[in-house]
Chains A and B, each alone.
Chain A
Amino acid sequence: METVTLRPFSLADADAMMTWASDPVVTAFMTWDPYTSREPLLAFISDTVLPHPWFRAICLDAGGAPVGAVSVTPTDDRCRAELGVVVARAHWGKGVATAALKRAVAAVFGDLDGVERVEALVDGENAASQRALEKAGFTREAVLRSYCMVKDRLRDMVVYSFISTDPLVK
């Protein structure tokens, strides 16, 4: 089982980020398309990642380059935030996402004032992500039918949640 550390991103992480952000297999279930050049990714880091209230690089060792990202984004409701996680394909199947999720829920309720619910919406067919959330202690609450469009297809989405009083999984 991997141990991971979470740290803030910097522009210097762009090349490492490109590894997963340009990979169509990684982005298959994402709402966004793979990046094909550096400039838009740098813009994403500057405009979205750096000012974001909770966006973390997933690192396998403290000094190393990131192998993925986990973010928790507040919604219009101050008690609720949405989690997203992405890991480079070379590090799939080793528990990296699960470890990152465990670290995220251990930290985020203290970091984001007023947030009591972290939720994740996962494609109905994304079994790997569903397992990672379950192993990290999230509760599978529902399948939301015909919930949203992802890459021109109407998808059922499974909603998982971790609330502030849920027990942390070691």
Chain B
Amino acid sequence: MKKEKQVDRPAATGPSAVNVTLRRFELSDVEAMMAWASDPQVAAFCRWDPYESTAPLLAYLRDTVLPHPWFRAICLPGDGENGRPVGAISVMPAGDPKRAELGYVLARAHWGKGVATAAVKRTVATVFSEVPGLERVEALVDVANPASQRVLEKAGFTREAVLRKYCFIKGKVKDRVMFSFIDTDPLVE
């Protein structure tokens, strides 16, 4: 029996904004994932190194993504419900039951079109009701990544601070900007 995909209704995000659909991943998405997961420019600000083959990516998909409580494929309209993902967005528990960390990644071909912003807006519109007890979603962005900072600002996040020498990524100590969206913050249309 064919397994039904769970599909959210597309976000209505304003007259000129992008509509995205967030759905659960499937193993068959691995080829589409390779488009961003193998791209060194995409991986530059991420903790992980670009994937060189699909086998480890398939393992990651199977062992981490599929069992994860909130890890979604970002799909664009026009591809139908079986559309190929152009990116991923996840909300990971972060050391307190009230708090989770947002992460997102997008294939380079879709940068600069508002796709990530639409995905983040869609996420904060739904995740608080889907994850019991969640009150705060936070995101840590490299100080040298203004594009990602703009995504969060446009999605209604509050820029709380620059945290100096916050984390160690790919051999370097990095400053991070902390953004947050709490349950009672207004959603941005």
Interface residues in chain A, defined as those with a beta carbon under 8 Å from any beta carbon in chain B: 77-80, 114, 116-117, 119, 139, 141-149, 154, 159, 161, 163-164
Residues of B within 8 A of A154 (CB): 98, 135
Q: A79-B165, A116-B173 are in contact. List 12 more A-B contacts (CB 8 A).
A: A80-B168, A141-B162, A142-B160, A144-B161, A145-B136, A146-B99, A146-B136, A146-B182, A147-B136, A149-B98, A154-B98, A154-B135
- Asked if A79 and B161 sit within 8 Å, CB to CB, the answer is no
- What 7 A-B pairs have minimum CB-CB distances, sorted nearest first? A142-B161, A117-B165, A148-B96, A142-B160, A141-B161, A77-B167, A79-B168
- Asked if A159 and B165 sit within 8 Å, CB to CB, the answer is no
- B44 contacts chain A at the CB level, 8 A cutoff: no
Q: How far is the CB of A120 from chain B (nearest CB, A)?
A: 12
B97 to chain A: closest residue by CB: A149
Q: How far is the CB of A109 from chain B (nearest CB, A)?
A: 11
Given contacts A142-B178, A148-B99, A161-B163, contact A78 B168 (CB under 8 A): yes
- B29 contacts chain A at the CB level, 8 A cutoff: no
Q: How far is the CB of B93 from chain A (nearest CB, A)?
A: 12
Residues of A within 8 A of B167 (CB): 77, 79-80
Residues of A within 8 A of B138 (CB): 144
Given contacts A146-B135, A147-B136, contact A77 B166 (CB under 8 A): yes
Q: How many residues in B have their beta carbons less than 8 Å from beta carbons of A?
A: 23
Contact with A along B122-157 (1 / 0, CB 8 A): 000000000000011010000000000000000000
B138 to chain A: closest residue by CB: A144
Q: How far is the CA of A96 from the CA of B146 in the complex (A)?
A: 42
Given contacts A148-B98, A149-B96, A149-B97, contact A164 B161 (CB under 8 A): no
Q: Which of B135, B160, B165, B180 is close to A116, meaning CB atoms less than 8 Å apart?
A: B165
- Asked if A161 and B173 sit within 8 Å, CB to CB, the answer is no
Q: How far is the CA of A36 from the CA of B166 in the complex (A)?
A: 37
